[in-house]
Amino acid sequence: MGVAANPNTEDDTAHSQPLSPRDIAQAIVGQAPSLNAAELAAETGVDQSFVDNYWHALGLPVEAPDLVGFTELDAQAIAEISAAACAHQWDEPTVSTLVRSVGHTMDRLALWQIEALVDHVARQNDIPGSAARLEVVRNLPALVHVLQTQVVHAWRLQFAAWAQRYSVEFSDTRGGAAQLDASEVELPLPRAVGFIDIVQFTERTTHLRASELADLVQTFESVTRNLITANGGRVVKTIGDAFLFIADDAREGANIALALRDYWSAHGTAVSDEPMAVRISLVWGRVLSRFGDVFGPSVNLASRLVSIAQPGRVYIDEATVTALRPFGKFTTVRHEPKSVTGLGLITPWELDRTGA
């Protein structure tokens, strides 16, 4: 993608005559619109519906048919995904999912990066958020190349990591689905699924200033994410102040859960004159992976266990107790059954290390 000339110059005239929103968007994209939807479809050899579906999947509004709102870069992207669909015989749901995965991820990524820059500018220059946003937007075209390079590089590394992980995990599979039982077909991936959240987050943060809340959330997010990945796990998503994470085996998942407990028990940030407490759950079971998320009974159970866990404790279920028993490095204590929404009575077990 080409990068327009940097509008952030020392020329006072440039500062007094800021770029319009359209100019900024054009500078970031790298081209001016030159095609309407019909021309885009004709140039790429696809139906108008393909163009509309592509745009919807990206999460962008579909332009009026006669409005010149598309660039040659749009045409190139649509032509390439259409050609790949033909070459690999991808059906419409597959194409839609591939495009939607990019659109959804890039929407969140763009907002995340812009807000990180806004926070930096606001703190560095001691200016309000609205002024910082205008300053950041004005300078975004100059940052396109470096941020785009980071996105592509990180995507390749993550794509390679998943390819390697799957190659190892499924290299010994023999006979395909014919030798799998029903649960393995429906929920093909054995995983440790865990949740961590901050106890009474809303009550503890109600009276914080915006800057204090931002610092708390950023610290919790960065430390928790680093602990999960450093111990071999992967963050699936964040849900408010909670994290959903997975690991490839039960022992790895248990190590992650206990590492999280240990860190936050020792380093809980003071909030409302009280140390910040977390609660954690872990369940070993089979899951379905779709849309960058995981689904299955074990995910539902883990979410219920974390909701009843005591502060500073790790709760697991009986199946996870059984899965961890061969490793001999963990202790478990059975608690009284509790009734939870949607699952009825469940029996939590508290996890710890041997000798702790």
Are 252 and 233 spatial neighbours (Cβ–Cβ below 8 Å)?
yes
Secondary structure class of 138 (helix, strand, coil): helix
- Any idea which residue has 């999960």 for tokens? 228
Strand partners, 134: none
> What distance lies between CA 293 and its chain's CA centroid?
9
Residues 6+ positions from 29 with CB-CB distance below 8 Å: 1, 71, 73
Are 31 and 73 spatial neighbours (Cβ–Cβ below 8 Å)?
yes
- Any idea which residue has 């790298």 for tokens? 30
Task: Evaluate whether the domain defined by 176-353 bears CATH number 3.30.70.1230.
Answer: yes
Give the other-Cβ count within 10 Å of 211's Cβ: 11
Q: Given this model, what pLDDT does residue 153 score?
A: 97
DSSP states along 26-75: HHHHSS---B-HHHHHHHHT--HHHHHHHHHHHT-PPPPTTS--B-HHHH
- Domain residue spans of the chain: 12-166, 176-353
Q: Given this model, what pLDDT does residue 164 score?
A: 87
CA distance linking residue 277 with residue 279, whole number of Å: 7
CA distance linking residue 58 with residue 136, whole number of Å: 24
Q: Given this model, what pLDDT does residue 242 score?
A: 92
CA distance linking residue 95 with residue 84, whole number of Å: 9
DSSP states along 209-250: -HHHHHHHHHHHHHHHHHHHHHTT-EEEEEETTEEEEEESSH
The pTM assigned to this predicted structure is 0.72
| Six-digit token string for 169 | 């995990």
Terminal-to-terminal C-alpha distance of the chain:
55
Residue type, 273: D
Are 351 and 332 spatial neighbours (Cβ–Cβ below 8 Å)?
yes
CA distance linking residue 68 with residue 64, whole number of Å: 9
DSSP states along 180-211: S-HHHHHS-EEEEEEEEEETTHHHHHTT--HH
Are 305 and 283 spatial neighbours (Cβ–Cβ below 8 Å)?
yes
| Six-digit token string for 225 | 């994410």
Strand partners, 275: 270
Q: Mean pLDDT of successive 10-residue segments in the chain (356 residues)?
A: 43 56 91 93 93 92 85 96 96 94 94 94 91 93 96 95 84 55 67 94 82 84 93 91 93 96 83 75 93 91 95 96 93 93 91 85
Q: Given this model, what pLDDT does residue 162 score?
A: 87
CA distance linking residue 284 with residue 330, whole number of Å: 15
